[in-house]
Structure 1
């Protein structure tokens, strides 16, 4: 069933149909999953930023469990979102990047990369479909990016989502986003935020799953004008000094604050789980995540480590913090368990439920985390020294983290990089030659994982490649 956000009557009908057959659904918690676009690990106050101002998020984080080692399963938008929505590594759904995998100049690419998939397959059983089957009214608000319409992938309500990865403009006309401004010059983030508040303020007959994925703070970097003066003369902090971007961060925080206010006023905060995160690292040309290395598109920590917290009144201890490494792959099994929902028959889920961590039943979650990127992704600008070389944010390779250790393997020349993240969070000291046995141990695990998941490894030489 395809519907637009047309008003209370339509949504009330959808809520009634969603709850049919599930008499316990009125006692299930609402779920709000906030997946910000391109917000870096330290782009919020609760992760230490002294430049960006995020008081609403900081206040909610203080009442939540904060995850300091939270990861996206991919370093840029589409693959990360596909991993989140399917609960599967990229090697299973085939979405590795945005658009073509042949990024950058052909003469600089030694290998022919694996062909990329740009649309999530119809047979993928998404998180939205699983929660809808459990009686949830499902709403996608903002960026979808995995196909033309989230209504075909389990959502009953779509607020401005399509295949587009970013708006043409945050000021009307928005071009890539099929929404019309309701007031003169209405900023897109505000319009989506307003419609989100309208959605949660309806008298639902079923619990709702709100996937709130604002296009912010992705490019284009367009300042929210009335907030700009606060940052124009503000002291830079730790590589963060972009005033226009700072207004976009603060403005998003304001919209999230309006959502929280609506939930409180409607008496829903006590029965709503809120998960906050980002889809990948911050844009390195705009914001820095120091001491983390690099940013969006790179498989160093700055490209894949995210801000994250989970709020659930009475279930998650206020002010809790954990350094257990987790992934957005874990959201699917976690929310299934929260909702009492089931995955599809024979469906493989690559994450693990975080519910034992959230409720304090467990303190550890020991397993390796993997990343696979058999593609190229060109650098944002010349002479970027934060990545392996100045030409690419990513060359084809894989990575694994086990405990404090992280190994990156590049396929072109079988280069290896080994880091101890506990001692070297900035990934400055490659220990591959110093600890060959540890290297071998992690590489064996990584190679076995690629075999088990049928992950493609490009090995065909590119005839256009030139070493000069």
Structure 2
């Protein structure tokens, strides 16, 4: 059985006249990739504290995926996966900065060296769309190189190698953009300016710095959340104001599309780059948060919208990943991607109700260390690290974690244990061996680096 194992079940249908309708006009493309927004940090995924009416309303216009994932648990690698459509071993970005994070005395292995910049030989979504007639705009956080214009974008609004602002209020200090109020508001103001001047078709990658730290409250909203009771581990009023303000800005974007009469011909993808930051927000019943490969670190709010093509008010339990965005976007743009050898799948058959199942293994690879933020309050495997070197595979309802330091294995049935509390590796030994076989074959296919060198500074 090959690594890219896909089982597709088709729903057979016949149109009234048997004609395959071709859509001649290319859809505009907007990807909304929020920074550090957790799986349940929005109303449509069940938050009772954060208020996101505009995002919630938009989600009802398309298909929500309750098992949507980022291909990595933190910022830069997740964004590299989205932009290239490639698993992490293919571009070599595994974390932000050095892979030697945390106390060296606690790191048993020498981690794989991390690529800090996306190599320019990688074909990006922006470059592909631009070469096929799209005007391309990046707005907000880029984080993959010094300038998104070098990766296929025609317009850059505030993007650089910087991962977060020093302040959301001017002076922003490290964000190259004309100052003008709260940063999230300013970037949307300039984004709407792009929409006002561009003719179709266009590709907008809207990647706000919010809601990444520093947690910087929107003062006009503070009284409301200070008086509001928290729920399910969500009670940070300052963070809540950032979420609501972001939601208001997304509402402005949607209003502009409607005003220009282009909403109906615009594919919108909404997601986040990784899980919410544990200690600021929680995603109960998911375990842990950003930087961890438990569900709280990689499962994201995720939906697609395109009028008359994607079924409205629909929900799918099919596991997907942000690797699927690139081929799906190209499908709706009418662009052949056969030569790109993308690792994700075109989801259009799922989105349009032609397919009811899509079963294939999903992988995560992190041959690095990532220190814990709050050793006294976390849901990680141990209190020192959010991530120790290892790999993860999800296949169907099963999810396996493999750790390189000691060859330890954790196996969970997510259908019965979404919180990953009951390790079934000993009880379900056949399933464990099956999952390990898929994982090891994938290592070979992708030439995934496996750290084996012992750290001489390690103290057992």
TM score, norm. by length of structure 1: 0.92
Return the offset for 1:384: 3.7
1:261 to 227, 246, 255: 255
- Aligned equivalent of 1:11: none
Distance change (3 Å), C-alpha of 1:48 and 1:358: same
Matches of 1:167 and 1:354, distance apart in 2? 34
Unaligned runs of 5+ in 2: 1-21
Matches of 2:51 and 2:162, distance apart in 1? 28
- Aligned equivalent of 2:442: 449
Secondary structure of the residue aligned to 2:55 is: helix
Extract structure 1 runs of 4+ deviating beyond 4 A: none
Q: Does 1:410 align with 2:397?
A: no
- Aligned equivalent of 2:301: 307
1:336-415 equivalent positions in 2, closer than 5 A: 336-343=330-337, 345=339, 347-415=340-408
Distance change (3 Å), C-alpha of 1:309 and 1:273: same
Return the offset for 1:452: 0.8
Return the offset for 1:74: 0.1
Matches of 2:378 and 2:200, distance apart in 1? 51
Q: Does 1:423 align with 2:421?
A: no
Matches of 1:36 and 1:341, distance apart in 2? 26
Matches of 1:105 and 1:291, distance apart in 2? 30
2:186 to 182, 186, 191: 191
- Aligned equivalent of 2:245: 251
- Aligned equivalent of 1:5: none
Secondary structure of the residue aligned to 1:32 is: strand
- Aligned equivalent of 1:130: 128
Q: Does 1:296 align with 2:296?
A: no
Return the offset for 1:343: 3.6
- Aligned equivalent of 1:8: none
Could you give the per-residue CA deviations for residues 80-127 of structure 1, whole angstroms, max 9, x where no partner exists? 000000000000000000000000010000000000001000100000
Matches of 2:351 and 2:306, distance apart in 1? 9
Matches of 1:268 and 1:419, distance apart in 2? 44
Counterpart contact for 2:278–2:378, Cα < 8 Å: no
Secondary structure of the residue aligned to 2:357 is: coil
Counterpart contact for 1:26–1:206, Cα < 8 Å: no
- Aligned equivalent of 1:275: 269
Distance change (3 Å), C-alpha of 1:216 and 1:95: same
1:155-170 equivalent positions in 2, closer than 5 A: 155-170=153-168
Return the offset for 1:205: 3.4
- Aligned equivalent of 2:113: 115
Q: Does 1:100 align with 2:94?
A: no
- Aligned equivalent of 2:316: 322
Q: Does 1:237 align with 2:202?
A: no
TM score, norm. by length of structure 2: 0.94
Q: Does 1:43 align with 2:36?
A: no
- Aligned equivalent of 1:10: none
Distance change (3 Å), C-alpha of 1:428 and 1:436: same
- Aligned equivalent of 1:13: none
Secondary structure of the residue aligned to 1:431 is: coil
Matches of 2:440 and 2:82, distance apart in 1? 23
- Aligned equivalent of 2:141: 143
Could you give the per-residue CA deviations for residues 371-410 of structure 1, whole angstroms, max 9, x where no partner exists? 0000000000222440110000000000000000000000
Return the offset for 1:344: 7.7
Secondary structure of the residue aligned to 2:374 is: coil
Counterpart contact for 2:36–2:211, Cα < 8 Å: yes
Give me the CA root mean square deviation: 1.2
Secondary structure of the residue aligned to 1:155 is: coil
Matches of 1:383 and 1:214, distance apart in 2? 31
Secondary structure of the residue aligned to 2:146 is: coil
Larger mean Cα displacement after TM superposition, 173-182 or 266-275: 173-182
Matches of 1:166 and 1:385, distance apart in 2? 23
Counterpart contact for 1:383–1:391, Cα < 8 Å: no
Counterpart contact for 1:147–1:162, Cα < 8 Å: yes
Unaligned runs of 5+ in 1: 1-23
Secondary structure of the residue aligned to 1:363 is: strand
Return the offset for 1:137: 0.4
Q: Does 1:334 align with 2:328?
A: yes
Matches of 2:442 and 2:264, distance apart in 1? 41
Could you give the per-residue CA deviations for residues 24-65 of structure 1, whole angstroms, max 9, x where no partner exists? 998211111000000000000000001000000011111110
Matches of 1:279 and 1:137, distance apart in 2? 24
Counterpart contact for 2:279–2:377, Cα < 8 Å: no
Q: Paired residues, what number?
A: 439
